Amino acid sequence: MPRVGVLALQGDVREHAALLERLGADVLRVRRPEEFTAVDGLLIPGGESSVIDKLARMFGLADPIRAAIRDGMPVFGTCAGLIMLADRLVDAIEGQQTFGGLDVTVRRNAFGRQVDSFEGPVAVPALGDQPVHAAFIRGPVVETVGPEATALATLQDGSVVAVEQGNLLGISFHPEISGETRFHDRFLQRVASRS
> CA-to-CA distance for 30 and 123, rounded, in angstroms?
32
Amino acid 138 reads R
Catalytic residue (choose from 79, 164, 180, 184): 79
- Kindly name the residue from 16, 94, 148, 174 that is annotated as catalytic: 174
Task: Check if 174 is active-site.
Answer: yes
Planar angle of CA 135, 99, 68, nearest 5 degrees:
110
The reply to whether 16 belongs to the active site is no
Look up 79 and say whether it is catalytic.
yes
Three-state SS at 162: strand
In whole angstroms, give the CA distance from residue 39 to residue 16: 15
- Residue 178: which H helix or E strand, with range? helix 175-178
Enzyme catalytic residues = 79, 174, 176
